[in-house]
């Protein structure tokens, strides 16, 4: 009987990627492979780190190894590892499914090095969608569950977000007036664009749902519009109200810690939904848009600004995003959004895709995080900081390569006769063109 010779980690990598790997690999067993002059080096630091990867293949396994330091990547700053995603695409393209004999040998080798053991779930990881549903007994997108989800994402700490969002404190896609504009200039330009698209004038009433730190609310108030914002993050609401007081806008601006479904006021002239639809759930679009249409006066305008997929298939969201960044988040295509708006109270007047602006926004956020890296680590710990760096850099890559898009859709509430009640026939706002 032949003696079994276990494979090294490098042997396993070479078997899975026979066409080569853009990464240099170094492992805890002393083996290495890949080009010596590779831009990035992947270090598999422990059998436990390898166990995370092989017992949960895909982005969750990689994330678990990453946050527990079982896996490290050298050659890119943790705050902005953008180029890593180019190499990841090349790596996945070179993958070759092993034959049955190779699978058996790989499995025996992993077992011999202690890398087939179930590892504890990292503290930073959220429970799966199903686990949350069973354990908490809360339906997805119920008021209670939405409050928990939003809190888990946004109550990381205002001081942490301040490190990379800039003065605007806007955690949504900016709109660059020129390719070399600063992030703050681009965010101000975004507020201008959304404000103009809503066709608001001094004395009008405005509602901003999912208002974050109240930047859109304060912009509208500075134009003489009475603006109400609502958010499910208590920390955001407290920060926003303090900023409103600091800027002397109390007579016109207000941010409430409140579910949008609990807004009682009506007859708004304009409604903005900037980066909220991602949290609503596709099955809830009908009730969402109908609720907001009912809050508008005839002739009122809604602007919906959100991340979408490039098509309208119900594509499952990656487990990494759901467990580490956006629990219960859900995306679809712009066509689905337009369909639901048209069926539930709106004449859809205009839509556009500004995904390259989100690419630029995420680039600037990552660079801000890099510039403030030591302070970020001191505030939230290296694991949380590097998770955000990876998430934002990966998102930047995704917007550039059309994995995801960012669409703005304008809807008008007509009166009973089909009139726009004073809202113009033709586009009335100014675009940034370059």
Whether 267 maps to a domain, the answer reads yes
Give me the residues paired with residue 411 across strands.
302, 348
Question: Which structural domain, as residue segments, surrounds residue 244?
Answer: 144-412
- Same domain? For 237 and 99 the reply is no
Domain contains 34: yes
Q: What is the CATH number of the domain that holds 24?
A: 3.30.1050
Q: Is the domain of 318 the same as that of 395?
A: yes
Q: Is residue 264 a part of any domain in this protein?
A: yes
38/164 same-domain check: no
**Do residues 52 and 174 share a domain?**
no
Model confidence at 307: pLDDT above 80 = yes
Selected residue with higher pLDDT from 338 and 134: 338
Q: Give 65-94 pLDDT, tens digit per residue.
A: 998 999 999 999 999 999 999 999 999 999
Examine the domain organization and report whether 248 and 393 are in the same domain: yes
Q: How far is CA 384 from CA 67, 104, 122, 413, in A?
A: 8, 37, 12, 43
* Span 138-150, pLDDT tens digits: 556 565 655 555 5
Same domain, 72 and 193: no
d(CA 344, CA 29): 60
pLDDT at 319: 73
Q: Is 125 a member of any domain?
A: no
Q: Are residues 225 and 332 in the same domain?
A: yes
Measure the CA–CA gap between 232 and 210, rounded to whole angstroms.
7
Domain count, the chain: 2
Question: Is 318 among the domain residues?
Answer: yes
78 and 183 co-located in one domain:
no
Q: Is the pLDDT score of 4 beyond 70?
A: yes
Q: Look at residue 356 and tell me whether its pLDDT is greater than 70.
A: yes
Q: In this structure, what CATH number is given to the domain that contains residue 270?
A: 3.40.50.150
Does residue 367 carry a pLDDT above 70? yes
pLDDT for 389 beyond 90: yes
Does a structural domain hold residue 290? yes
Residue 326 and residue 238 share a domain? yes
Tens digits of per-residue pLDDT, 154-188? 556 789 999 999 999 999 999 999 999 999 999 99
Residue 303 sits in the same domain as residue 395: yes
SS3 label, residue 425? coil
Q: pTM (2 decimals)?
A: 0.92
Q: Is residue 133 a part of any domain in this protein?
A: no
In a domain, 429, yes or no: no
Structure confidence by residue, pLDDT tens digits, 196-245:
999 999 999 999 999 999 999 999 999 999 999 999 999 999 999 999 99
For residues 159 and 101, membership in a common domain is answered with no
């Amino acid at each position: 009987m032949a003696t079994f010779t276990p494979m090294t980690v490098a042997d396993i990598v070479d078997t899975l990627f026979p066409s080569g790997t853009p990464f240099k690999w170094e492992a805890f067993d002393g083996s290495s492979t890949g080009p010596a002059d590779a831009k990035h080096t992947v270090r598999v630091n422990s059998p436990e780190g390898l166990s995370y990867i092989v017992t949960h293949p895909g982005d969750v396994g990689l994330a678990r190894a990453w946050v527990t330091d079982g896996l490290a990547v050298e050659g890119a700053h943790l705050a902005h590892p953008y180029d890593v995603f180019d190499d990841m695409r090349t790596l996945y393209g070179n993958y070759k499914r092993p034959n049955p004999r190779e699978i058996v040998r790989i499995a025996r080798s992993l077992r011999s090095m202690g890398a087939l053991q179930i590892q504890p779930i990292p503290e930073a990881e959220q429970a799966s969608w199903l686990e949350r549903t069973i354990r908490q007994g809360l339906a997805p997108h119920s008021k209670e569950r939405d409050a928990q989800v939003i809190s888990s994402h946004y109550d990381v700490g205002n001081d942490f977000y301040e490190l990379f969002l800039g003065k605007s404190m806007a955690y949504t896609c900016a709109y660059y007036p020129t390719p070399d504009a600063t992030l703050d200039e681009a965010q101000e330009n975004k507020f201008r664009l959304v404000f103009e698209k809503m066709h608001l004038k001094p004395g009008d009433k405005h509602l901003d749902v999912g208002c974050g730190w109240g930047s859109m609310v304060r912009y509208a108030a500075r134009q003489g519009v009475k603006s109400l914002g609502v958010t499910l993050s208590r920390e955001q609401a407290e920060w926003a109200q303090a900023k409103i007081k600091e800027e002397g806008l109390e007579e016109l601006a207000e941010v409430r810690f409140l579910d949008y479904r609990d807004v009682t006021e009506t007859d708004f002239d304009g409604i903005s939904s900037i980066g909220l639809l991602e949290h609503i759930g596709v099955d809830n679009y009908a009730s969402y848009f109908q609720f907001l249409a009912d809050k508008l006066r005839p002739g009122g305008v809604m602007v919906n600004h959100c991340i979408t997929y490039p098509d309208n298939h119900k594509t499952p969201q990656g487990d990494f995003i759901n467990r580490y960044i956006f629990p219960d988040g859900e995306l679809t295509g712009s066509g689905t959004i337009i369909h639901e708006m048209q069926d539930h109270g709106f004449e859809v007047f205009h839509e556009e895709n500004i995904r390259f602006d989100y690419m630029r926004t995420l680039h600037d956020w990552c660079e801000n995080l890099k510039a403030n890296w030591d302070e970020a680590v001191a505030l939230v710990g290296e694991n949380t900081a590097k998770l955000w760096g990876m998430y934002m850099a990966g998102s930047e890559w995704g917007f550039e390569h059309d994995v995801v898009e960012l669409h703005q859709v304008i809807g008008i509430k007509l009166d009973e006769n089909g009139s726009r009640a004073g809202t113009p026939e033709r586009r009335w706002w100014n675009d940034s063109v370059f």
